[in-house]
C-alpha cells in the first residue's frame, strides 16, 4: 500500500497482504492522540501511534485476507502518515 496521510479520522483503503505478516510504519505530528483501529474487530484494542516522536513500527500477523484498518484522532488535529508493506520489514 502506498503512503496514506491526513488529519482526522479516516478509513484506510482495504489491502490483502501477500504473506501472513505485514509491517506498518506510522508517524504523526501535532496535538491529539492517534490510533490505528482494526475495522473487522471494532471491539479490539486500538494501537497507539506516538506523535512528535520516532515513527511507530508494528509487525502484524494476520491471514492473507483483506485487511480493513482505520485511523482515529482524538483530542486535537494531529497530522499522520502510514505506510504498510508485506512481510516483516523492521530495520535490523
The CATH code for residues 4-86 is 2.60.120.380
Q: pLDDT for 35-78, tens place per residue?
A: 999 999 988 899 999 888 888 898 888 888 999 999 999 998 89
SS3 content of the chain, % helix, strand, coil (to 5): 0, 50, 50
pLDDT computed for residue 80 by the predictor: 96
Distance between CA atoms of 88 and 43, rounded to whole angstroms?
A: 26
Rounded to two decimals, the pTM is: 0.85
pLDDT computed for residue 88 by the predictor: 81
pLDDT computed for residue 91 by the predictor: 63
Q: Cell numbers of 81, please?
A: 502518515
Q: Would you place residue 9 in the very low, low, confident or very high pLDDT band (cuts 50, 70, 90)?
A: very high
Residues 6+ apart with CB under 8 A from 43: none
Distance between CA atoms of 16 and 36, rounded to whole angstroms?
A: 17
Q: What residue ranges do the domains of the chain occupy?
A: 4-86
pLDDT computed for residue 1 by the predictor: 66
Amino acid at each position: 500500500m502506498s503512503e496514506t496521510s491526513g488529519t482526522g479520522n479516516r478509513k484506510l483503503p482495504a489491502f490483502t497482504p501477500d504473506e501472513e505478516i505485514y509491517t506498518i510504519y506510522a508517524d504523526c505530528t501535532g496535538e491529539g492522540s492517534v490510533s490505528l483501529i482494526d475495522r473487522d474487530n471494532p471491539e479490539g484494542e486500538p494501537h497507539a501511534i506516538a506523535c512528535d516522536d520516532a515513527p511507530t513500527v508494528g509487525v502484524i500477523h494476520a491471514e492473507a485476507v483483506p485487511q480493513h484498518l482505520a485511523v482515529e484522532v482524538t483530542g486535537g488535529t494531529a497530522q499522520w502518515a502510514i505506510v504498510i508493506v508485506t512481510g516483516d520489514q523492521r530495520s535490523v
